[in-house]
């Protein structure tokens, strides 16, 4: 029963001007920003939908800035909440051409316009507009223009938008006629009745001015008004969080008076009541939101698949072919290819293998995935024909015999007990997932092949979103709130290093964080951080994902521009739900390393190695693995992995499969790896709850390590079908109680039928439920174990070619290069410096010596290297730098190239000193240009010998040779590190007593601990704190690596006088080593020359009693007397028979260990015979 006449409910509002009642229930929000309006909106989709549901709204729009990123998630969530989703976008529109790329002073580059989808045609048009904005119109923002809007306006509803709209900007500037013209243009663009004049009121003065004009303008043109709130956050109290969010976006702080600000706290999710009160003067503007919602008939859900049909030729060559005919032909081809592969791989297979294959083929055909398999087979075939290395497989696809017979994978699933249903479950209709590893050098070529075959408009890379994780959000918010960097860092580092940890969980786990969250200084940091945590921060291109469609992608999904990449606007999981074919084309560096190593082996020895058919019982390989000598070996390099190898002592391929499954957070955290190792070595007995478990778990020492074992247990012990077993595995992973309860009953009943006692059945179920959360995909572990084995085999049997290939594939990483060169040194492998007559493009091997590759020299590009090598190979070695410039095209080799080659030592045997060759570079370039010009003019014979010195005139100016330090500095500038030596090497004896770690030894285990390092300063960056106090950041290095040292004001005041480049320092401080950064926070800094005096407690001098003369002792005593001080001295006499004795000199012999004094004592007895005992503090 409704309200009595003359009354109104609490959600109705009387409008005195119009004498009517406005129903708050008739209001729907049509101008809404989620966190997909990157670093602007602060509302997640679930929270947005929940707010609309709680306020009883029947419809809701999503209109993010310039994109449709959130449309699928929004549509799904809204419908689940019983709310009509209205998909839209706040477009950026320019009044010029979207193709223009210029800024005009005083002219707006773009305006805002709300576009809402009315129907299917409108959705397709919005996709086109959003795609065009990014692909064609991106200039600071993704822009459309009026031309493309007219072409794609059908099915769309337009709202005139906010203060930044084209109409409102004109009105604010007093250009009423221009506003009228703009409005008419929009009216003419949209279908009749599909353009509305939008009004807003967030308490801004400019909006009040607009409200004075827009209603009259609307009446003049007969246009309806619509009231909106420009929603950017849920609640009024979230306004502060949104301000901080904008500061993060713009790189400003909250204290910056010039920062972008909304100047109002009214951009929140207002209720219908609030909107009715705010716009009581224009009740129709409120109810028109409901009228617009009623117009919308579009539903985003689609049950269709959009898999392309495989075609043997190019797609456009037989576009008109009947799809049913093509599918029939494809089934025949599919069967033929599989049968051929089966016969090649199985000489005399048992019946069960044939039955398994026929079952897989039947499932693949019934599920409609024949074209999928053929598409994957085809681009793998192409890669192999092009000589592009392809991995053995990855993920659950390795469990398919069909994939194995097609050559998609390289491991027999029967041999390794891999399960097809883990890959493809016919009870659960979902797209199969075949991800492929390619050599990183060939990945793009394969993707280009797919683009060319299926059409540029049907193949695209995929977007991915980066979110604000707990630690990162504290850093971002802290900077925006102008909290000192040192304090932010200290707080952020207290967040536990757990993947996916949330702030509230971190506060529970870390008492210090909880204490800081209550500190008045940091209260806002944690409050805002908790509101921004998990929001999208940026978007980028997925590392591997590529989507392939049966039609132009812009019929189905909007596109996005990320630099030069064009991607989808929808992420991977959404595309799969939409029925699009997704394939991961991964570039795996290790495949490139293997490929290059095989080429080097063949070049050096003539041996051709079939890497895919290595014996899996090679003794040298397992010796290497047992020693954990695995630097450079795929997935086995880390310190933790090497420790696991030491404990496990792998002696078979099965152990290697287990290692990759064990070395993950879950098993490591639960201690499963220790159990596995103890059981392998007989230190812990293996007990099974039931004898039926033994054949399933004996490969893993009784530990449930693999997901496939969970499936096998359910199948063998409880009679589950493999499809059901896979569903059980998935349910255990997602921890869905209602599903698990049903499966538990089924498991118990099935086990009892097989004469397993109820209590045992329940215990087994509980055991697999416990271990399922740690279980790893055995198929993936097996495939990657093969790559690990292949690289281990190469290192064990061909170390020089292997490490040469490793170095070649890491030339862009100075730290990695240093690590691998250190590994070469440890193994006694010689690495010769670069040489223009001996070096190849990449690292190479000759007579078991690695030759440095020219392309690894900084500033020497591939074109220059190609030109040098081509000339050298065709016409012989170079005689000098002048000879090179006279022979190689000047366009290929410039001044920088030659200077870098000289600095790296590449001309060391072909001229005078490096310093003289370096200053002669310009003359050599000029001389080369002269000779090439004469040759082009015909003044020199084209057939004249390239090595004929009479062609060119060499002049090397007389300049001093570089000092050893200068030579090494120049060498480092060209290579990125010191190769022929290191400035600190000759000071090792001095540094060792004061050093706790080499820089390369500082890993995450040292984080937060006191360390002492001996380093060379490479760069000094002077900084100021926000309080204006001086501080510095030092880039330092030693012979093992480099990092940064942060010198805060207190320490800086005491040490600033010797913080300079090329100074050798002893730095004591706290190591801060995390995934994000590697640095040391300095507490004390001492120059090396003062270290003995400041940090030492006693000097020791080692003497040989047989060689020590009376004269030497008197000279030592004289030296002591000339350098009196407080540091005691001991003489250590080492006898030939191993008997040593120490003589402590008296206090009268105590010295002051100045640099001069130490140099003199070393000159007397030798560098290595002088030692220092460090103070305990």
Give pLDDT tens digits for 374-394.
999 999 999 999 999 999 999
Distance between CA atoms of 854 and 862, rounded to whole angstroms? 9
Rama region for 390: left / alpha / beta (φ>0; ψ in -120 to 50; rest)? beta
Residues 6+ apart with CB under 8 A from 205: none
Identify the pLDDT of residue 801. Answer: 97
- Measure Cα distances from 830 to 506, 810, 827 in Å: 49, 18, 9
Instruction: Please check whether residue 832 is in contact with residue 851, taking contact to mean a CB–CB distance below 8 angstroms.
Output: yes
Q: In this model, does residue 942 exceed pLDDT 60?
A: no
DSSP labels for 221-288? HTPPEEE---BSSSSGGGHHHHHHHHHHHHT--TT-TTS---S-S--S---HHHHHHHTTT-HHHHHH
Q: Is the pLDDT of residue 404 over 50?
A: yes
Q: What is the mean pLDDT of residues 921-926?
A: 93
Q: Quick check: helix, strand or coil at residue 825? A: helix
- Residue 5: what pLDDT? 30
Q: Torsions phi, psi of 1083, nearest 5?
A: -110, -25
Does the structure show a pLDDT above 50 at 1160? yes
Q: What is the pLDDT, as a whole number, of residue 302?
A: 67
Lowest mean pLDDT among 171-185, 716-730, 969-983: 969-983
277 CB-near residues (< 8 Å, 6+ apart): 13
Tell me the β-bridge partners of 114: 90, 159
Angle at 424 between CA 422 and CA 426, to 5 degrees: 120
- Taking the C-alpha atoms of residue 1102 and residue 1134, their distance in angstroms, rounded to an integer, is 7
Band (967; pLDDT cuts 50, 70, 90): confident
- pLDDT value at residue 579: 86
Q: Which residues have C-beta within 8 Å of that of residue 900, sequence separation ≥ 6?
A: 857, 858, 859, 860, 973, 974
Query: Which pLDDT belongs to residue 1176?
Result: 61
What 3-state class would DSSP assign to 1144? strand
pLDDT for res 1012: 92
- Give me the pLDDT at residue 621, please: 97
Adjacent-strand bridge partners of 23: 12
803-813: buried (b, 16+ CB within 10 Å) or exposed (e) per residue? bbbbbbbbbee
Q: How far apart are CA 441 and CA 811, in angstroms?
A: 14
What is the average per-residue pLDDT within 339-362?
A: 94
Give dist(CA 156, CA 1028) in Å, integer.
Answer: 55
Whether residue 1177 has pLDDT greater than 80: no
817-831 pLDDT, tens digit per residue, is 888 988 998 899 999
Would you state the torsion angle of the CA atoms of residues 1058, 1060, 1066, 1070, taken in this order, to the nearest 10 degrees? 100
User: Considering only CA atoms, which of 668, 734, 662 is closest in space to residue 705?
Assistant: 662
pLDDT value of position 10: 33
Q: How large is the average pLDDT for residues 739-751?
A: 91
Domains and CATH numbers, the chain: 12-234+269-295 (3.20.20.140), 315-444 (no CATH), 463-589 (1.10.10.1600), 596-793 (no CATH), 798-975 (no CATH), 985-1093 (2.40.50.140), 1095-1174 (3.40.1350)
Instruction: Give the DSSP H or E segment for 536.
Output: strand 536-548
CA distance 160 to 467: 32
DSSP state of 706: B
**What size, in residues, is the chain?**
1177
Task: Sort 441 into a burial class: Cβ within 10 Å, 0-12 / 13-18 / 19+.
Answer: middle
Q: Is the dihedral of CA 693, 697, 703, 705 positive or negative?
A: negative
pLDDT of residue 18: 41
757 Cβ neighbours under 8 A, 6+ residues apart? none
Residue partners of 773: CB distance under 8 A and separation at least 6: 666, 732, 733, 735
Angle (CA) 331-332-333 rounded to 5° is 90
pLDDT of residue 351: 93
> Using one digit for the tens of pLDDT, what is the confidence trace for 1018-1042?
888 888 776 778 899 998 988 887 8
The model's confidence at residue 555, banded by pLDDT at 50, 70 and 90, is very high
Taking residues 289-297, report their average pLDDT: 95
pLDDT band at 19 (very low <50, low <70, confident <90, very high): very low
How sure is the predictor about 613, in pLDDT bands with cuts at 50, 70 and 90?
very high
Label the pairing between strands 1064-1073 and 1078-1087.
antiparallel
Q: Above 90 in pLDDT, residue 1078?
A: no
Predicted local distance difference test score (pLDDT) of residue 313? 67
Per DSSP bridges, beta strands 143-145 and 84-94 are parallel
**Contact call for residues 1096 and 993 (beta carbons, < 8 A):** yes
Residues 53/28, Cβ–Cβ less than 8 Å: no
What is the reported pTM?
0.81
Which among 181, 76, 160 has a CA at the least distance from the CA of 116?
A: 160
pLDDT for position 14: 36
As a whole number of angstroms, the distance between CA 1035 and CA 1037 comes to 7
How does residue 1098 score in pLDDT terms, banded at 50, 70 and 90? confident
Q: Which of 572, 582, 583 is nearest to 72 (CA)?
A: 572
Contact assessment for residue 149 and residue 137, using Cβ atoms and an 8 Å cutoff? no
* End-to-end Cα distance, the chain: 86
d(CA 1169, CA 959): 38
In this model, does residue 23 exceed pLDDT 60?
no
Could you tell me the maximum CA-CA distance found in the chain, to the nearest angstrom? Answer: 125
How confident is the model at residue 548, as a pLDDT?
92
Residue 938 region by backbone torsions, left for phi larger than 0, else alpha for psi between -120 and 50, else beta: left
Asked if 109 and 163 count as a contact pair (C-beta separation under 8 A), the reply is no
Weakest-pLDDT range from 418-422, 430-434, 570-574, 913-917: 430-434
Tally of CB atoms within 10 A around 866 = 14
Q: Give pLDDT, residue 655.
A: 96
The larger pLDDT score, comparing residue 520 to residue 88, is at 88
How far CA 974 is from CA of 858, 860, 913, in Å, comes to: 5, 9, 17
Q: Where are the alpha helices (DSSP H) in 735-858?
A: 737-753, 758-772, 778-797, 799-808, 814-826
Taking residues 308-322, what's their average pLDDT? 68
- 3 state SS of 412: coil
Mean pLDDT along residues 1098-1127: 83
Which CA distances in Å does 847 have to 600, 830, 980, 1133? 12, 10, 20, 45
Average pLDDT of the chain, as a whole number:
88
User: What pLDDT was estimated at residue 1126?
Assistant: 81
At residue 824, the pLDDT reads 92
pLDDT for residue 1073 is more than 90: no
| CA 559/CA 564 separation, integer angstroms | 13
Could you tell me how many helices (H) and strands (E) the chain has, helices first? 46, 29
pLDDT value at 701 more than 60:
yes
C-alpha gyration radius of the chain: 37
pLDDT score recorded for residue 316: 47
d(CA 135, CA 143): 9
The percent of residues in the chain predicted with pLDDT above 70, rounded, is 95
């Amino acid at each position: 029963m409704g309200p009595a006449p003359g009354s109104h409910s609490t959600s109705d509002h009387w409008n005195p001007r119009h004498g009517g009642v406005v129903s708050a229930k008739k209001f729907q929000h049509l101008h809404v920003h989620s966190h997909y309006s990157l670093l602007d909106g602060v509302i997640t989709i679930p929270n947005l939908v929940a707010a609309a549901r709680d306020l009883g709204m029947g419809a809701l729009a999503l209109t993010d800035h310039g994109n449709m990123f959130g449309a699928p998630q929004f549509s799904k969530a809204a419908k689940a909440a019983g709310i009509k989703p209205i998909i839209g976008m706040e477009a950026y529109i320019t009044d010029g051409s979207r193709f223009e790329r210029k800024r005009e002073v005083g002219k707006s580059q773009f305006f805002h316009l709300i576009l809402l989808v009315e129907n299917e045609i409108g959705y397709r048009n919005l996709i086109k507009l959003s795609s065009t904005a990014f692909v064609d119109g991106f200039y600071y923002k993704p822009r459309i223009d009026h031309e493309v809007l007219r072409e794609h306006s059908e099915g769309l509803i337009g709202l005139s938008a906010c203060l930044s709209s084209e109409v409102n900007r004109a009105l604010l500037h007093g250009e009423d006629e221009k506003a009228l013209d703009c409005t008419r243009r929009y009216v003419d663009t949209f279908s009749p009745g599909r353009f509305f004049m939008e009004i807003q009121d967030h308490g801004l003065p400019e909006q009040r001015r607009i409200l004075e004009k827009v209603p009259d303008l609307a009446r003049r043109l007969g246009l309806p008004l619509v009231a909106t709130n420009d929603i950017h956050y849920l609640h009024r109290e979230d306004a502060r969080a949104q301000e901080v969010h904008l500061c993060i976006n713009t790189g400003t702080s909250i204290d910056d008076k010039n920062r972008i600000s909304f100047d109002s706290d009214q951009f929140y999710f207002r209720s219908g009541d609030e909107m009715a009160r705010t716009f009581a003067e224009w009740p129709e503007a409120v109810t028109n939101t409901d009228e617009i919602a009623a117009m919308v008939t579009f539903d985003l859900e689609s049950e269709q698949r959009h898999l392309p049909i495989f075609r043997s030729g190019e797609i456009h060559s037989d576009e008109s072919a009947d799809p049913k005919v093509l599918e029939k032909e494809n089934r025949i081809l599919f069967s033929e290819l599989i049968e051929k592969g089966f016969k090649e791989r199985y000489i005399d297979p048992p019946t069960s293998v044939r039955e398994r294959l026929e079952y897989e083929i039947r499932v693949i055909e019934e599920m409609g995935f024949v074209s999928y398999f053929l598409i994957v087979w085809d681009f793998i075939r192409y890669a192999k024909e092009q000589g592009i290395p392809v991995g053995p497989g990855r993920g659950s696809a390795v469990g398919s015999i069909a994939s194995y017979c097609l050559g998609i994978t390289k491991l027999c699933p029967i041999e390794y007990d891999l399960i097809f249903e883990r890959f493809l479950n016919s009870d659960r209709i979902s797209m199969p997932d075949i991800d492929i590893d390619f050599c990183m050098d060939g990945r793009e070529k394969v993707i280009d092949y797919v683009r060319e075959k299926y059409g540029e408009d049907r193949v695209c890379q995929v977007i991915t979103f980066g979110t604000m994780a707990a630690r990162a959000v504290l850093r971002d918010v802290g900077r925006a709130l102008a909290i000192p960097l040192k304090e932010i860092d200290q707080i952020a580092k207290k967040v536990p290093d757990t993947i996916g940890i949330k702030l509230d969980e971190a506060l529970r786990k870390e008492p210090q964080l909880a204490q800081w969250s209550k500190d008045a200084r940091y209260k806002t940091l944690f409050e805002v951080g908790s509101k921004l945590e998990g929001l999208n921060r940026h978007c980028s291109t997925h590392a591997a994902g590529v989507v392939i469609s049966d039609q132009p992608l812009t019929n189905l999904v909007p596109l996005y521009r990320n630099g030069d990449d064009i991607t989808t606007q929808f992420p991977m999981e959404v595309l799969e739900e939409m029925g699009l074919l997704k394939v991961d084309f991964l570039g795996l560096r290790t495949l490139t390393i293997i490929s290059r190593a095989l080429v080097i082996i063949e070049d050096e020895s003539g041996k051709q190695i079939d890497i895919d058919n290595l014996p899996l019982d090679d003794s040298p390989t397992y010796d290497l693995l047992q020693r954990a000598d695995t630097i450079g070996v795929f997935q086995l390099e880390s310190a933790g992995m090497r420790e696991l190898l030491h404990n496990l002592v792998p002696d078979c391929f099965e152990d290697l499969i287990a290692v990759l499954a064990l070395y993950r957070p879950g098993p490591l955290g639960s201690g499963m790896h220790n159990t596995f190792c103890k059981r392998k070595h007989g230190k812990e007995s293996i007990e099974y709850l039931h004898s039926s478990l033994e054949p399933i778990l004996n490969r893993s020492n009784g530990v449930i390590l693999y997901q496939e074992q969970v499936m096998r247990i359910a199948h063998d012990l409880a009679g589950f079908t493999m499809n059901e077993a896979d569903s059980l595995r998935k349910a255990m992973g997602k921890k869905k109680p209602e599903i698990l309860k049903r499966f538990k009953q089924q498991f118990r009943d099935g086990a009892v039928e097989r004469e397993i006692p109820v209590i045992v059945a329940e215990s087994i179920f509980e055991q697999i439920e416990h271990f399922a959360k740690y279980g790893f995909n055995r198929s993936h572990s097996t495939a990657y174990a093969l790559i690990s084995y292949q690289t281990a085999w190469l290192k064990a049997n061909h170390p020089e070619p292997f490490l040469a290939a490793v170095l070649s594939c890491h030339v862009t990483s100075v730290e990695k290069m240093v690590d691998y060169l250190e590994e070469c040194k440890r193994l006694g492998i010689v690495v010769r410096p670069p040489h223009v007559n001996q070096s190849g493009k990449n690292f190479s091997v000759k007579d078991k010596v690695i030759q440095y590759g020219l392309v690894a020299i900084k500033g020497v590009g591939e074109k220059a290297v190609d030109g040098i090598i081509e000339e050298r190979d065709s016409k012989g070695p170079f005689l000098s730098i002048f000879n090179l410039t006279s022979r190689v095209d000047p366009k290929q080799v410039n001044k920088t190239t030659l200077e870098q080659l000289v600095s790296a030592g590449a001309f060391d045997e072909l001229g005078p000193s490096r310093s003289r060759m370096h200053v002669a570079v310009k003359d050599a370039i000029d001389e080369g240009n002269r000779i090439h010009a004469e040759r082009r003019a015909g003044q020199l014979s084209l057939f004249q010998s390239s090595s004929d010195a009479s062609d060119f005139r060499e002049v090397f100016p007389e300049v001093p040779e570089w000092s050893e330090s200068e030579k090494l500095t120049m060498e480092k500038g060209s290579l990125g590190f010191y190769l022929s030596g290191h400035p600190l090497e000759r000071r090792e004896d001095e540094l060792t007593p004061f050093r706790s770690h080499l820089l390369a030894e500082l890993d995450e285990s040292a984080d937060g601990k006191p360390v002492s390092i001996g380093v060379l300063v490479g760069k000094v960056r002077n900084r100021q704190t926000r309080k204006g106090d001086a501080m510095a950041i030092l880039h330092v290095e030693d012979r093992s690596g480099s990092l940064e040292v942060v010198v805060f004001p207190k320490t800086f005041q005491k040490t600033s006088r010797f913080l300079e480049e090329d100074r050798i320092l002893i730095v004591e401080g706290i190591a801060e080593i995390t995934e994000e950064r590697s640095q040391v926070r300095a507490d004390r800094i001492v120059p090396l020359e003062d270290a003995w005096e400041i940090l030492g407690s006693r000097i020791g001098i080692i003497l040989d009693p047989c060689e020590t003369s009376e004269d030497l002792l008197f000279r030592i005593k004289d030296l002591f007397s000339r350098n009196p001080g407080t540091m005691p001295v001991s003489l250590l006499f080492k006898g030939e028979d191993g008997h040593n004795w120490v003589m402590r000199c008296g206090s009268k012999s105590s010295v002051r260990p100045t640099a001069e004094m130490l140099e003199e004592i070393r000159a007397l007895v030798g560098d290595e015979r002088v030692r220092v005992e460090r103070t305990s503090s």
